Structure 1
């Protein structure tokens, strides 16, 4: 699980605001306010998936990652609230 290709940013040209996202097999997560925070959330997400036996969509889907998927469909969320 490399993080270097998973972090993306989007600049709103009218406001100049930068939003940060990370990509995972489970979907795109964000927006986050800073790259540093995005990296921290991604690292926590990967740690949680590894500790729970989630193989990144290759086999068993973990309960925590299912919660993330469900909550993500409902609204934009902070992953820290789900995987603490």
Structure 2
């Protein structure tokens, strides 16, 4: 009686058959991914429109915003590190 080898992968192939339900799921997922991509592109466009407008009214706005954001992030990380200790 041969000894079974448990570490070898099985040579089973899944058939390439796609039911109508599976096709519909793939179509809906593709549509969802496309919608999500469009949403992020719109958000980027809106952000840059706001930044451009603020730069016109208050030159240096974006630089100050990013400096404050970086400082706030460093403070956040320091607080999290202090909580863990």
Same fold (TM over 0.5): no
Structure with the largest fraction of strand: 1
- Name the structure, 1 or 2, with higher relative contact order (CA <8 Å, separation 6+): 1
Larger Rg over CA atoms: 2
Question: Under a length normalisation based on structure 1, what TM-score does the superposition of the two structures give?
Answer: 0.29
Structure with the largest fraction of helix: 2
